[in-house]
Amino acid sequence: MRRLSFNSLSVRSKLILAFVLLTLLGVSVVTWIGYTSARASLRAAAEHQLMGLQRSKSALVKTILISSRNTILRMSASRFAENASEELKAAYRQLDREPVTAGMKAEVDRFYREEFEPVLAKRLTASPAEGSLVPRNSTGLYLHYHYLATGPKPYGVKRWTQSATDGSAYAKAVARLSPELISEVERLGLDNIMLVDPETMDVFFSLDQSAILGTNLLTGPYATSNLSAMVQSLRNSQNEDDYKVADFEFFRPALGTPEAFVGTPIFVGTRMSAIMVLSLPNGPIARALSGNGEWEAEGLGKTGEVYLVGPDQTMRTNSRFLIEDRESFIQLLRNSTLTSSTVDAVEMLDTTILTLPVKHAAATSALRGETGLKQLIDDRGIPVLIAYGPVDLDSLRWGVIARIYEAEAMAPLAAYTQRVFTWGIGLVLLATLLALVLGRMLTRPITALVKAAKQVSKGTFDVEVEVTANDEYRELGLVFNEMVMNLRTSRQELQRQVMENERLLMSLLPASGAAQVREGNAEARQSFADVTVAFVNFDGFESLPRDLGEGESMGLLSDIVAACDEAAEQHGVEKVRTIGSSYLAVSGLSVERPDHTARMVQFANDVVRIVKHFNAERGVHLVAEIGINAGPVIGGLVGGRKFIYDLWGDTVRLARGIESGGRMSILVTRPVYDRVRDLVPFGSVTHANVRGMGPVELFSLLEEVAV
């Protein structure tokens, strides 16, 4: 096998190759230097921007937490808070003397069974056992009856504590104190205020009238909650400025909504009167981290986001991708390394808070109190840049994670590379153009040959290239001219053969049959709704061999059939086939003709005249019995490698079955008669039995026409 080398290339190829290689070398060197410098600068800028964003968002979260802490400390130290806690607690403790009837207990059970538990079950991955959240003490049942079971519907809609049925001192205290509490909550943008008795751990007041009202945080259904742990840590506090923060949890009294809490004691003098708890909703933190959902305006592009990670290394805010395109995000999670149960939880609860794990090294470092930047591959296999750091308040630490897809962060580098590549391509093209110009004189014979070859490819075979050189181009030109001449000869022979085949095909088959053969659809059967069929039986040939001999008899039959073929072509009639001394013809088959019946009658008249002419000229006594019928038929090719075209149907059977008893005749059926009776004269109607068809009306053309 001959090896390709530089010396074996043409001069034009050598010029093009040299120019292109030199240009590529120069472009490659410049591009590499520019690329590495731009990549380092762009990466440094992206990292600085991401780190700055992480620090600013951490400061915002810290501000929100401190603001919540300062709010609760200010409220708990007010005289109103002291008086309200004392009055509400005293009224609450009197409720154990209020009667709780069986009907009230049943109504509370119904509320939990029909209103509270079904909704809660849809928002938690693990539903509590039926009835496990119902208060067991009489005070809790009393409050839940008056403030939940018979309260405003539906449960979960924001409402302040009120009851239309409770007439106790507690209801009066609530009615008197709630307006000022509501005003303060709305002014500060809070969600709820709860008061807990530090002695009994009973929740004796909840401004939002939730299911935690009247429950005990030591023995009740929410004893294992983060809220309970926080309150227990405060009940023995001796410092009125003490406070605790409870991390987010799926808070069941809020129907599974993720909530965090901040709590502080309320002192009356030196005695702790109550523990005040403020709900710390996720919304303000999420809005601060996302810039109110304007991630791109925050400099995070289309793939960046900032989120919180809790001590259990799950998210404390919703992912941007869940908010913007839920379906695509869920599908992306299913294609990641996460377990199906984790993704099911995200999909069912429609949140990443407390459900989506964040196990990468950056989150671990942030929860250890470290700050920095890492390049990682996330659970979905996508390279990301991550800036991380902690945010602390009391004993609670969250990690603040700012991340963006590396591809988007480095997108300007791709644009720069594309511009350099475009210019490089331009230089290569310019070098190629120069090489083409320089090599034009040397490659002119090839150009002429290519031009001639294109003409041949378009079907022009009278092309001949001019051969003037004495090198290898001469041999190539001579071979090409010889090839074109051979192609021209072969094409002419092929066209002649195609025309001969077409002529033969048209002489053997009707046009529709010939079309089937050309299309390779020989097995198809076609239905024709309305044609006119004529069956001609030439009677008298049986006795001719004895008088004329077999050869002359066959010649006479051939001459008559040829004359009939000419008449058929003249009248627009198609011969279907001849068998022995019979002739089957059809009109309106391959070409739709509105007057196909009249044409067939004219053809039949010509056949009669043809037979009479041959009788007079050859001295024979032949008879043409012609039956004509009109109607639907089925046509198609019969046979495999050797085939004929034939027609089927009652229309053909009837035409073939018409007989005149050995006399010259043209007999037509009623459909034919009705169509042409105004054009040609007919005799009286006759009735004949046609084999297989029964009695049929037949009409004969008058003797002077058909004899």
Q: Spell out the domain ranges in the chain.
A: 77-281, 443-508, 520-706
Query: Greater confidence, 540 or 644?
Result: 540
Residue 112 is classified by DSSP as: I
Residues 135-149: tens digit of each pLDDT: 988 999 999 999 898
| Contact status, residue 575 vs residue 568, Cβ threshold 8 Å | yes
- Which run of H or of E encompasses 164? none
CATH 3.40.50.1000 is held by the domain 77-281: no
Q: What is the number of other CB atoms lying within 10 angstroms of the CB of residue 183?
A: 10
Q: Given a cut of 80, is residue 379 above it in pLDDT?
A: no
CA–CA gap between residue 557 and residue 541 (Å, rounded): 8
Alpha-carbon Rg for the chain, nearest whole angstrom, is: 52
- The fold for domain 443-508 equals Helicase, Ruva Protein; domain 3 (1.10.8)
**β 396-405/682-690 pair status:** unpaired
Render 613-672 in DSSP notation, one character per residue: HHHHHHT---EEEEEEEEEEEEEEEEESSSEEEEEESHHHHHHHH---SSS-EEEEEHHH
| Contact status, residue 249 vs residue 81, Cβ threshold 8 Å | no
- Mean pLDDT along residues 525-534: 88
Residues 396-405: tens digit of each pLDDT: 899 999 998 8
| Contact status, residue 348 vs residue 362, Cβ threshold 8 Å | no
The candidate with the shortest Cα–Cα distance to 511, out of 645, 614, 617, is 645
**β 623-639/665-669 pair status:** parallel
Cα–Cα distances in angstroms (integers) from residue 112 to residues 163, 207, 209, in the given order: 18, 20, 15
CA–CA gap between residue 267 and residue 78 (Å, rounded): 10
Residues 213-264: tens digit of each pLDDT: 999 999 999 999 999 999 999 999 888 889 999 999 999 998 888 999 999 9
CA–CA gap between residue 285 and residue 358 (Å, rounded): 18
Point out which residues pair with 586 in neighbouring strands. 533, 574
- Long-range contacts for 382-387 (Cβ within 8 Å, ≥24 apart)? 383/407, 385/46, 385/47, 385/50, 385/409, 386/50, 386/360, 386/362, 387/47, 387/50, 387/51, 387/53, 387/54, 387/362
CA-angle at 141, arms to 81 and 131, nearest 5°? 120
The candidate with the shortest Cα–Cα distance to 305, out of 321, 287, 316, 292, is 321
Residue 63, CA atoms < 13 Å, CB-side half-sphere: 10
- Long-range contacts for 134-139 (Cβ within 8 Å, ≥24 apart)? 134/108, 134/109, 134/221, 135/108, 135/214, 135/215, 135/220, 135/221, 136/220, 137/214, 137/216, 138/95, 138/96, 138/98, 138/100, 139/92, 139/95, 139/96, 139/98, 139/202, 139/214
Q: How confident is the model at residue 706 (pLDDT cuts 50, 70, 90)?
A: very low
Point out which residues pair with 699 in neighbouring strands. 668, 685
Say how far residue 640 (Cα) sits from the centre of its chain.
47
The candidate with the shortest Cα–Cα distance to 46, out of 421, 420, 384, is 384
Residues 621-664: tens digit of each pLDDT: 899 999 999 999 988 777 656 667 788 888 889 888 888 777 88
| Contact status, residue 400 vs residue 389, Cβ threshold 8 Å | yes
- Rounded to the nearest integer, the mean pLDDT of the chain is 83
Q: What is the number of other CB atoms lying within 10 angstroms of the CB of residue 447?
A: 10
Q: Given a cut of 50, is residue 704 above it in pLDDT?
A: no
Residues 343-377: tens digit of each pLDDT: 999 998 899 999 999 988 999 999 999 999 988 88
CA-angle at 621, arms to 619 and 627, nearest 5°? 140
Query: Greater confidence, 360 or 3?
Result: 360
Helix, strand or coil for residue 42? helix
Superfamily per CATH, domain 520-706: Nucleotide cyclase, GGDEF domain (3.30.70.1230)
- Mean pLDDT along residues 527-534: 91
